Amino acid sequence: MLSIRNLHANVAGKEILKGINLEVGAGEVHAIMGPNGSGKSSLASVLAGREEYEVTEGEVIFNGKDLLDMAPEIRAREGVFLAFQYPVEIPGVSNINFLKTAVNDVRGHHGLPPLTPKEFLQLTREKQKLVEFDAKLVNRSLNEGFSGGEKKRNEILQLAMLEPKLSILDETDSGLDIDALRIVSAGVNKLRSKDNAFVLITHYQRLLNYIVPDFVHVLWNGKIIKTGTKELALELEEKGYDWLKQESVALDN
Amino acid sequence: MAKSDDEILEKLATQDYEYGFVTDIDMEIAKVGLNEDTIRFISGKKEEPEWMLEWRLKGYLSYQKLQMPTWQYFEMPPIDFQGISYYAAPKTKKKFESLDEVDPELLATFAKLGIPLNEQKQLAGVAVDAVFDSVSVATTYKGKLKELGIIFCSMSEAIREHPDLVRKYLGSVVPHTDNIFSALNGAVFSDGSFVYIPKGVRCPMELSTYFRINTENTGQFERTLIIADEGSYVSYLEGCTAPQRDENQLHAAVVEMIALDNAEIKYSTVQNWYPGDKEGKGGIYNFVTKRGACRGVNSKISWTQVETGSAITWKYPSVILQGDNSVGEFYSVAVTKNKQIADTGTKMTHIGRNTRSRIISKGISAGNGQNSYRGLVSLGTKADNSRNFTQCDSLLIGDRCGAHTFPYIESKNPTAKLEHEATTSKIGEDQIFYLNQRGIDTEQAVALIVNGYAREVLDNLPMEFAVEAQKLLSLTLEGSVG
């Protein structure tokens, strides 16, 4: 589904991704871990097409198409979803109106007619139940005055509504209490299928107890320095990242 | 990826203004220039009584004594008052007995503007007075309104048919001496709408006037007078468009409103005059004086405006709060792009006790647009326990536009309570990216964000108008972000 080859990227003239290679297949869940500043969120931003990031080398193929050649909204319509670490507030824009615009834009891209208001409301109700989202928040302004946890849960509702092929969750677990984490994870687990894939960016092994990954990658200094299975996450929890950094430096030399 | 600025500006200049067409119709146009003869000509054309001519001549006298204002935050362009024709009317019968007699070309023009005047197609729940250049061409639903004792007609007709009401109230809120444009309007106004709602009547439909400037080298000077008698209610809408021309055209209207005891008037405007092209060539100079007087106790006047057109907008819909417990409101969204200038705001003059006013102003600037909020809240010595809340927000799109705020407060009463909030923000890249990431393209994203930003104001518009205004805001800002 997603094939990242030798990806290099700069932000403000500084190289932050230094040759990322990653293959994500349909039905898989990948976790990307690593210390602060290692480039995890930058990778998510580059994949979503944030303008400040300049790709200097490498390629990203998504379902046979050159992802880097697409505008951010086209990437989204093709099925790339980024659950933001810090979802922005947009005052006055109702959550429901925003969702309707987004859902219909994605449908239009695939040659589908817009949903009727009735169909749309039905879909919203269904998804909102699936991810246990507070119905009251659906009619509020987009993320305005939402708590940190509510914002994160709103990301998952959007994910459920848009049914993307590839979902990148950028530290969705940060700032969540244990109950919210459980609800968010349960939502993601319900949305998993053999046709879609998830990339979880996280600091903590804790999330991976709820959403069990097929692969765990460690990102450091703009590169993936180690790949393993869920056991690797447990090892990291116990030993930290330093031993891997040393290994990596030794290898480079 | 993102389109180049040039492409976008081009698109703005060529596509945005949908109403720039010209109607080809035989017109009777007054000789260019302004003097006593011009005024006698207009008054004669309208077969006005002597008192009206005298009133006009007094206006002309004031006009000659007054100077152009100097306090606005833009350079006042030279306006050649002698280079304008002050009267232009379609050459047809003076008075239409029925719509069948109205020139089909005129009906077609209004239909094209989305204002059907044919009986069968009339907007449900909205009575319309259509003003074309200097004259009112049709007023719909007159019969139905008459049954309730509501008078809704052109100003010319009101002068003929209801002279007592006109003489009593005309100029009582905006006198000739108020400013040079109101004086000029007093001298040369050619038509406009007149509304009288009798005691205790709640007007069952929206009353609406649609103004269209068509002829070149003319100005439009309409005069609107709305009187809500004791315990009555009316909601009034105003819309306007003009053809795309290279010259600037002057629009100097006056609106006066009077609310008696327990009466309420709600006045909504969607102003979409031709704004000029991307270089700032052409466009309407919109110098308008709008004022309401809450004369009675517990009366209420509310202004809502969405200003998207005109090369220059100079407009301060105000409320004089005379009656105890009276309420004044001003809700405004003003958009400027390309080289448009808006200097707009309100005056809330608190005279009576327990009077309250509320001001919500949302400025949106894009391109090289300049947007100023100018407000004056004054509380007199007798205005005990009066309150004002002002919120003025500015939104900037791009880095060449400007937003300015000039709030004045004068309180002579120690019991007054005043609140003022102001914010300036740039449309966030983060907000746009967030919406992009959900499949929404940038133009649509900006439209969503701007509509969200203006929502508090748009929510005050009547339903039919709110949809229109939302579309207009999206259209106006199309291509403003690269």
Better-predicted residue by pLDDT, B79 or B101: B79
pLDDT of residue B5: 38
The C-alpha of A1 sits at a distance from chain B's nearest C-alpha, in angstroms, of 19
pLDDT tens-digit readout, B197-247 = 999 999 988 888 877 766 666 778 889 999 999 999 999 988 766 666 667
Facing residue for B455 by CB, picked from A72, A81, A92:
A92
Give the percent of chain B with pLDDT over 90.
43
Q: Do A87 and B452 touch (CB under 8 A)?
A: no
Mean pLDDT of B38-67: 92
Confidence tier at B13 by pLDDT (50, 70, 90): very low
- The reported pLDDT for the residue numbered B456 is 84
Q: Out of A199-203, B28-32, B313-317, which region has the weakest mean confidence (pLDDT)? A: B28-32
Q: What is the pLDDT of residue B119?
A: 55
User: Is A2 a domain residue?
Assistant: no
In which band, very low, low, confident or very high, does the pLDDT at B466 lie, cut at 50, 70 and 90? Answer: confident
A-chain residues within 8 Å CB-CB of B439? Answer: 73, 76-77, 102, 105-106, 109, 162
Inter-chain touch B444–A51, beta carbons under 8 Å: no
Which residue of chain B is at minimal alpha-carbon distance from A97?
A: B448
Alpha helix locations (H) across B325-399?
none
Q: What is the pLDDT of residues B236-248, one digit of tens each?
A: 988 766 666 667 7
pLDDT digit string (tens) for B336-381? 888 888 899 999 999 999 999 999 999 988 888 889 999 999 999 9
Residue B450: pLDDT band by 50, 70, 90 thresholds?
Answer: confident
Average pLDDT, chain B: 84
Of the pLDDT bands very low, low, confident and very high (cuts 50, 70, 90), residue B7 is very low
Q: How confident is the model at residue B460 (pLDDT cuts 50, 70, 90)?
A: confident
Residue A111 φ then ψ, to 5°: 75, 20
Domains: count for chain A: 1
Residue A224 has pLDDT above 90, yes or no: yes
Interface of A with B (CB under 8 A): 48-51, 71-73, 75-77, 81-82, 84, 87-88, 90-94, 97-98, 101-102, 105-106, 109, 141-142, 158, 162
CA distance B290 to B130: 19
CA B476 to chain A, closest CA, distance in angstroms equals: 18
Q: In the predicted model, is pLDDT for residue B8 greater than 50?
A: no
Instruction: Tell me the pLDDT of chain A averaged across its residues.
Output: 92
E strand map for B252-397: 254-259, 264-271, 283-294, 300-307, 312-315, 318-321, 327-336, 341-350, 356-365, 370-379, 387-396
Please indicate, yes or no, if residue A62 is contained in any of the structural domains: no
CA B86 to chain centre: 20
At position B51, the amino acid (one-letter code) is: W
Which amino acid belongs to residue B37? D
Contact B451 A92 (CB under 8 A): yes
Query: For chain B, what are the domain ranges?
Result: 5-477
Asked if pLDDT for residue B12 goes beyond 50, the answer is no
Handedness of CA A12, A18, A19, A20 (dihedral sign): negative
What is the predicted pLDDT for the residue at A101?
A: 94
Tokens describing residue B101: 């007699």
Residue B11 has pLDDT above 60, yes or no: no
Q: How confident is the model at residue B84 (pLDDT cuts 50, 70, 90)?
A: confident
Instruction: Give the confidence band of B462 by pLDDT, cuts at 50, 70, 90.
Output: confident
Q: What tens digit of pLDDT does each residue of A51-109 get?
A: 999 999 999 999 999 999 999 999 999 999 999 999 999 988 989 989 999 999 999 99
Render pLDDT for A19-60 as a digit per residue (tens, 0 to 9). 999 999 999 999 999 988 899 999 999 999 999 999 999 999
Asked if the model's pLDDT at residue B439 lies above 60, the reply is: yes
Nearest by CB to residue A105, choosing from B1, B439, B451, is B439
> What pLDDT does residue B179 have?
94
Check pLDDT > 90 for residue B183. Answer: yes
SS3 A126: helix
Length reported for chain B: 482
**B→A interface, C-beta within 8 Å:** 1-2, 428-431, 433-442, 444, 448-449, 451-456
Strands (E), chain A: 2-11, 14-24, 29-33, 53-62, 65-66, 80-83, 90-94, 141-142, 166-170, 197-201, 215-220, 223-228
Residue B443 has a pLDDT of 83
Cβ atoms A67, A75 nearer than 8 A? yes
Whether residues B433 and A97 touch (CB distance < 8 A) is answered with no
A228-232, B125-129, B150-154: range with lowest mean pLDDT: B125-129
Average pLDDT over residues B273-287: 83
Q: What six digits make up the tokens of B424? A: 């300036």
Nearest of A156, A138, A155, A137 to residue A97 by alpha carbon:
A138
In this predicted structure, what is the pLDDT of residue B401? 86
Is residue A63 in some structural domain? no
CATH no. for residue A220?
A: 3.40.50.300
Residues B386 and B355: beta-carbon distance below 8 Å: yes
Write down the pLDDT at residue B238. 84
CB A140 within 8 A of CB A54: no
Cα distance between residue B331 and residue B361, in whole Å: 6
pLDDT for B444 equals 87
Determine, for residues B436 and A82 on separate chains, whether the beta-carbon distance falls below 8 Å.
Answer: no
- Rounded to a whole number of angstroms, the distance from the CA of A112 to the nearest CA of chain B is 14
The answer to the question of residue A52 being in a domain is no
Domain assignment present for residue A220? The answer is: yes
Are the C-beta atoms of B335 and B305 separated by less than 8 Å? no
pLDDT at B459 (0 to 100): 83
Compute how many other C-beta atoms are within 10 angstroms of the C-beta atom of residue A243.
12
CB pair distance less than 8 Å for A92 and B444:
no
Q: What is this model's ipTM?
A: 0.95
Q: How far is A48 from chain B (nearest CA, A)?
A: 7
Measure the CA angle with vertex B138, ends B137 and B139; round to 5°.
145
Answer yes or no: do B439 and A91 touch at CB < 8 A. Answer: no
Q: Which domain holds residue A97?
A: 28-47+72-252
For residues B119 and B417, the model is more confident at B417
What pLDDT was estimated at residue B264? 97
Q: Nearest C-alpha of chain B: how many angstroms from A50?
A: 7
Residues B92-146: tens digit of each pLDDT: 655 555 566 666 776 777 776 666 666 555 555 567 777 776 666 666 677 788 8
Closest CA to B284 of B306, B308, B310: B310
pLDDT digits (tens, 9 = 90+) for A137-163: 888 899 999 988 899 999 999 999 999
pLDDT band at A204, cuts 50/70/90?
Answer: confident
- Confirm whether A94 is domain-assigned: yes
Within a domain: residue A90? yes
Nearest CA in chain B to A161: B438
- Higher-pLDDT residue of A142, B462: A142
**Contact assignment for B441 to A73 by CB distance below 8 Å:** yes
